[in-house]
Structure 1
């Protein structure tokens, strides 16, 4: 395995398994780059703000892992936001990644619908999401217009939606794996949660090697032949290797990310780069909440007053802010 450290370009993979890290890597022999994420205490911190049932925690954990994989690629100051709106039992997911390292998340669900979906056992993430859409937004602040990509959710999970996003919006061959596991502790002690994710992308220097079929126009006459596009051998091999990863390997607290990458790609030569730390942190503040209130008209602000106060609770972290009615009415 090669390292990002210039003084020691070749070394054995580290056996130290560290949670809440994203490790970027390249596999030069396959022309792929990627990232692997392992989340532990940071995921617990995100989930602790609400009393989510286990199926919701699992689904939100997948969303957090996916958002960290994608958002941590940003080389600019800004936010990467994943949001779903669907007709399923979990009708809203929002994960907000603030570059370079902070994440917060929120889920909304229907208790009756969730109970029905899980009556016969654990439900697939696609069944919990249902049908709707997934939006991925890059927000660099007021001076830059946000970029947003939207894909349909049609009963599949977040992995399926991510693959569709890259086919449709980025046109980069991409393979993503997501896993979430609950560590149930004896004696009634609160369980903990872990999430893992792996993303590989095919980015050869010769652009002609990325051959992808055209998107289905949807209105072609029945029987119209669909052109077959052969995938590059290197990308076929990379996908096959990723397909050998077992769920437990992505969340195993005793298996380091580097050892997993070495197992997968050592024959082709894998280079790892400095790992990036991830923390659970909410960006809400009294000033930010006031700025949101100021975006409302005077009549709207007046309608928020109850018992002489305006009270706002952050959906992400549960922190409450209280303002005097006069404070909100007179602010400008």
Structure 2
């Protein structure tokens, strides 16, 4: 693959369908966007890795949302790594990039940086939230953390909340190419049974010991056989095939699934993007009284707020925010 071809596939999500077996999927490659997400923070490597995995999952899952919709992924636990939050903003127009942002909250004193990263989350939940815009009720789905990785949690979520068998193969980490600086790079492939499987609710005695559904609880007959075959083929993928630069995603699909007749659709470009603004900060503070805001005011008389996603720092006069705010002649 030439450098031009490599760049063309970087920071994109390629949707596809396997026509012969009613399975759809996405291939994602994140490069610059992942660096942009992580350079907003100074996380230790363990936390960076978990944020990278969450961002990769978000790019692949978010590709299906409609224009201007927002999909959020939240992982909350009772361990030192308390929260991982990501947002995916659907493009405003066809052909435009989607935007991703992410951050994590952790206890620097108790986190074990030599432990398995997923173990530092502890017990908690995995949630997907979809905001369809004004006058629309947001969708929220929640499942317990399970499976030993964020990818496994996402698979459990789709089986449990959507009754859609789903499988991920992900790789991510720091990479170095000749003559280039070290940078973050990630690649992933997602398979998902078409939604017609969704109404096939599992019987009570088919649910696992943990009370959660899995793909084998939902599919049977030819559908189960096809799903198992696709997963066997997916298991042969190599890390370098997922992140490049030697194999284009289209070539990888043909190598893995040529007998299943893969059909590819237009790629969705993604980039880092934060939607914070002073106006939104003021709006979030509009529910507070002057007395409440007084407790938040610094010694120098200013009120400050920092964006957890991009680190933007906002400084405001406390007299101009809250529901008792003073207004100037221009309405500000």
Q: Is residue 162–residue 198 contact of structure 2 (8 Å, CA) maintained in 1?
A: no
* Residue equivalent to 2:5: 16
Gaps of 5+ in 2: 92-97, 212-216
Q: Is residue 58–residue 86 contact of structure 2 (8 Å, CA) maintained in 1?
A: yes
* Residue equivalent to 1:111: 108
Instruction: Describe the superposition over 1:93-142 as per-residue Cα deviations: whole angstroms up to 9, x where unpaired.
Output: 0101111200100011222333x350xxxx43421322111111001234
Q: Is residue 37–residue 69 contact of structure 1 (8 Å, CA) maintained in 2?
A: yes
Highest relative contact order (Cα 8 Å, sep 6+), 1 or 2?
A: 1
Q: Within 5 A, what are the aligned runs for 1:207-246?
A: 212=202, 214=204, 216=207, 232-246=224-238
- Verify: 1:325 aligned to 2:322, yes or no: no
Structure 1 segments, 4+ long, off by >4 Å, are: 184-187, 207-215, 217-220, 226-231
User: Aligned to 2:306, which of 313, 317, 325?
Assistant: 313
Q: Within 5 A, what are the aligned runs for 1:282-293?
A: 282-293=274-285
- Structure 2 distance, partners of 1:51, 1:21, is 25
SS in 2 for 1:112: coil
Q: 1:228: Cα distance to partner?
A: 10
Instruction: Describe the superposition over 1:46-79 as per-residue Cα deviations: whole angstroms up to 9, x where unpaired.
Output: 0001111111111100000101111110124221
Q: 1:288: Cα distance to partner?
A: 1.1
Q: 1:219: Cα distance to partner?
A: 11
Q: Within 5 A, what are the aligned runs for 1:116-135?
A: 116-118=112-114, 123-135=115-127
Please say which of residues 239-248 and 51-60 is displaced more in the overlay: 239-248
Q: Is residue 50–residue 118 contact of structure 2 (8 Å, CA) maintained in 1?
A: no
SS in 1 for 2:158: helix
TM-score normalised by length of structure 2? 0.83
Gaps of 5+ in 1: 1-14, 221-225
- Structure 1 distance, partners of 2:163, 2:87, is 24
Instruction: Describe the superposition over 1:5-24 as per-residue Cα deviations: whole angstroms up to 9, x where unpaired.
Output: xxxxxxxxxx9232100000
- Structure 2 distance, partners of 1:243, 1:258, is 17
TM-score normalised by length of structure 1? 0.83
* Residue equivalent to 2:191: 200
* Residue equivalent to 2:129: 137
- Verify: 1:65 aligned to 2:56, yes or no: yes
User: Aligned to 2:78, which of 57, 66, 87?
Assistant: 87
Instruction: Describe the superposition over 1:132-153 as per-residue Cα deviations: whole angstroms up to 9, x where unpaired.
Output: 1111100123411111111111
Equivalent residues, number: 306
The alpha-carbon distance between structure 1 residues 208 and 327, as it changes in their structure 2 partners (threshold 3 A), is closer
- Structure 2 distance, partners of 1:319, 1:144, is 29
* Residue equivalent to 1:52: 43
* Residue equivalent to 2:94: none
Q: 1:229: Cα distance to partner?
A: 5.2
Q: 1:204: Cα distance to partner?
A: 7.5
- Structure 2 distance, partners of 1:49, 1:243, is 34
Q: Is residue 131–residue 155 contact of structure 1 (8 Å, CA) maintained in 2?
A: no
- Verify: 1:265 aligned to 2:257, yes or no: yes
Please say which of residues 137-146 and 22-31 is displaced more in the overlay: 137-146
SS in 2 for 1:43: helix
Instruction: Describe the superposition over 1:139-183 as per-residue Cα deviations: whole angstroms up to 9, x where unpaired.
Output: 123411111111111462111111111111100111112221211
Q: 1:33: Cα distance to partner?
A: 0.8
Instruction: Describe the superposition over 1:279-305 as per-residue Cα deviations: whole angstroms up to 9, x where unpaired.
Output: 101101111111111133333222221
* Residue equivalent to 2:214: none
Q: Is residue 163–residue 199 contact of structure 2 (8 Å, CA) maintained in 1?
A: no
Q: Is residue 62–residue 180 contact of structure 1 (8 Å, CA) maintained in 2?
A: yes
